[in-house]
Structure 1
């Protein structure tokens, strides 16, 4: 019988993150939009971070890291995300708002190019994040 290699959940997660990051860097999954919805679901069981990457068509990526304290619910995570994106980009590049309490809408402004939005990492156990092009 052949041997079977077993990877821990953390190792599988790290490998998936690495593969996704490489794919994003190479443009393999590039599908820009003028507006994105970031849906938050759950509550933080531990302190952690969310790292988002925004990449305008033909431009360099910008990453934003959001610290999420233990016990933070989805509505508060949405507000923290909105505030971090506004602080990083200012008001001239993207319009960022909370929608339905737990969602964050990110929309390009003016002549800003369509962009990709990717969750690079989410270390917040108990919090799920779903991205949707609008």
Structure 2
């Protein structure tokens, strides 16, 4: 039952995100320090094809720049073949589609890290 609800929530999140529009690049802006261990779960959903989910473990005590690097590294490992991922300004992560890929939407599915806030902006 838990898996079914989780799947429904992911589908709803993707549907809401598509209402905002797909883009060719996104900026994730991290602020605050990790006051607890937790995880950040991101979904990258192309306009055509299956969405991809990336899960990032964050440890208590990480600053916003370190959280951004952790997210960058996890995205590169988990979805990097289709997207270019880099850190910008220390606390921002830029995600850009590779040539030939479809525009996409980034959705924050979960952020269980106390003290860390994430903003998303299409570029």
Structure showing greater radius of gyration is 1
Aligned twin of 2:122 = 133
Q: TM-score, normalised by structure 1?
A: 0.80
* Residue among 44, 51, 67 paired with 2:41: 51
Aligned twin of 2:3 = none
Q: 1:18 to 1:122 in 2, by over 3 A?
A: farther
Q: 1:20 to 1:39 in 2, by over 3 A?
A: farther
Q: TM-score, normalised by structure 2?
A: 0.87
Aligned twin of 1:13 = none
Q: What is the root-mean-square deviation in Å for CA atoms of aligned residues?
A: 1.9
| Contact residue 54 and residue 78 of structure 2 kept, 8 A | yes
For 2:72, what is the secondary structure of its paired residue? helix
Shift of 1:60: 1.2
* Distance in 2 (alpha carbons) for counterparts of 1:87 and 1:68: 15
* Distance in 1 (alpha carbons) for counterparts of 2:59 and 2:66: 10
| Structure 2 unaligned residues grouped into runs of 5+ | 1-5
Moved over 2 A (4+): 17-25
* Distance in 1 (alpha carbons) for counterparts of 2:63 and 2:28: 15
Aligned twin of 1:9 = none
Number of equivalences: 116
Task: Report 1:1-134 matches (<5 A).
Answer: 21-25=10-14, 27-30=15-18, 31-90=21-80, 92-134=81-123
Write out per-residue CA displacement over residues 29-88 of structure 1, whole angstroms, 9 at most, x where no aligned residue: 301100000000000000000000000012111110100000000000000110001111
| Structure 1 unaligned residues grouped into runs of 5+ | 1-16
For 1:29, what is the secondary structure of its paired residue? helix
Greater Cα offset, 98-107 or 28-37: 28-37
Shift of 1:19: 8.9
